[in-house]
Amino acid sequence: TLPANFNLTGSINKTGGQALKLNFTNGDSVSGVVGTAANSVGDITTAGTTNFASSVNAKGAATLGDTTSFADIFTNTGAVTLAKASITNFAKNVTATSFAANNATINFGNSLAFNSNITGSGTTLTLGASQVTYTGTGSFTDTLTLNTTFDGAAKSGGNILIKSGSTLDLSGVSTLALVVTATNFDINNISPDTKYTVISAETEGGLKPTPEENAKITINNDNRFVDFTFDASTLTLFAEDIAEDVIDEDFEPGGPLANIPNAANIKKSLELMEDAPNGSDVRQAFNNFGFMTPQQEADAVTHLIQDVVKPSDTIAAINNQVILSNISSSLINLNARMDAIQPGCRSCR
C-alpha cells in the first residue's frame, strides 16, 4: 500500500517470486513503467486521483476507483473492475481479459485499440473526436451514454469500429443517449457526405443495436443555419443547411422578426445573401449570421442596407474634406492668376 500523495519518478518492477500487489490510496503518481511483459505486477487497486505516466503491465485483478489516468498502454491479463461513479482515462491501447463498467465513465483521449470483453450498466463512454477500434465481446444494459464530437470541416467524429469477429450488443440498452458537440460547421462546407456513423462493424452482425425508439440525441450546435438528423437504425448523423427555412420562420407571422421596421427589405437582403455562390465572401458573411440571434442578425443587415443606401458619417466627412480641398485649390489658382495680371492693370493704378 502506497501512502497518499506518493510520487514515484522511477519504475515498479520485480523479478521472481510472487507478483507485486499495488494499492494506490490518493493523489499517487508513477512516472516510470509499472511492470513489464516479462515481469508483470499483480493486483492493482486505485483510489482518489491516480496517474500512470508510462506503460502498465499487470496480471491480477485491477480495481480502479475515483479518477485513474493512463498516459501509456494498459495491459492486464486479469479482470478489470471500474468502481461506481469512477472515471478512467485512457490515452493509448488497452488490453485486458474483461472490463466491468457499471455506473462508470471511460474517457478516450486519443484514437486507440480497446481489446477486452466488456459489460456495463449505466456506462458513459467519452469518445471526443477519437476512433476506438474494439476487439472482444461487449454488451451494455440500461442507459449507455456516448459523448462525441462531430467536426464539420473534417466530416468525421468520435466513433467505435467493431473489428471483424467481435460483437457489441446494445439490444439490452433501454436508453442510448448520444451527446454530440458540433464544431467547424459552416453552410459552405455542408454536402451530402457530411455525415458520420457513431458505431459501425467491419462484418455483418458485429453490432446488435438497441431499438430505434431507445436512441436519444442531444446536439450542441451554435449555428442556427445548420441542423442534424439521426438515423437510429444505422447510428449515423447527417448535417444539412436549413438557412432558408430559418429565415422564413423568423419573418413569418408570430416570428421574432415579423414586426420589425423594414422587415421586407431585411428579409429580401438575407435571401439574396443565402442565394450567393457557395464559398463567396457574401455567403461566408451570411454563414456568420447563423451564430447570431434573430435580432442581432436583423441589426447587422440594417447597418449593411444603410451603408448602401446612404453614405455613413465617415464617408460623408471624407466627401466634405474633398469638396473643401477642391474649393481651396480653386481659390489658390484664382489668386495666382489675379497676381499675374495685376501689374498691367490700368484700373488698378
Pairing mode, strands 94-100 and 112-128:
parallel
Angle formed at CA 32 by CA 29 and CA 38, multiple of 5 degrees: 125
The pTM of this model reads 0.79
> pLDDT digits over 112-144, tens only?
999 999 999 999 999 999 999 999 999 999 999
Query: What confidence category does residue 24 fall into, taking pLDDT thresholds of 50, 70 and 90?
Result: confident
- Give 346's pLDDT tier (boundaries 50, 70, 90): very low
In angstroms, rounded to a whole number, what is the distance separating the alpha carbons of residues 209 and 204? Answer: 12
Is the CA virtual torsion 124, 140, 229, 186 positive or negative? positive
The x, y and z cell numbers of residue 112, run together, are 486507440
**Predicted local distance difference test score (pLDDT) of residue 347:** 39
Task: Supply the DSSP string of 104-162, one letter for each residue.
Answer: -EEEE-S-EEEEEEEEEEEEEEEEET-EEEEESEEEEEEEEEEEEEEETTTTEE-EEEE
pLDDT tens for residues 221-230?
989 999 999 9
What's the DSSP call for residue 12?
A: B
- Give the three-class secondary structure for 192: coil
φ, ψ dihedrals at 96, nearest 5°: -160, 170
Q: Which residues of 246-266 are buried (b: 16+ CB within 10 A; e: fewer)?
A: bbebbbeeebebeebeeeeeb
157 or 26, which is more confident: 157
Tell me how far apart the alpha carbons of residues 192 and 345 are, in angstroms, rounded to a whole number: 86
Which residue reads 429565415 in cell numbers? 247
Does residue 324 carry a pLDDT above 50?
no
The tens digit of pLDDT for each residue in 136-155 reads: 999 999 999 999 999 988 88
Q: What angle do CA 167, 169, 171 make, to 5 degrees?
A: 155
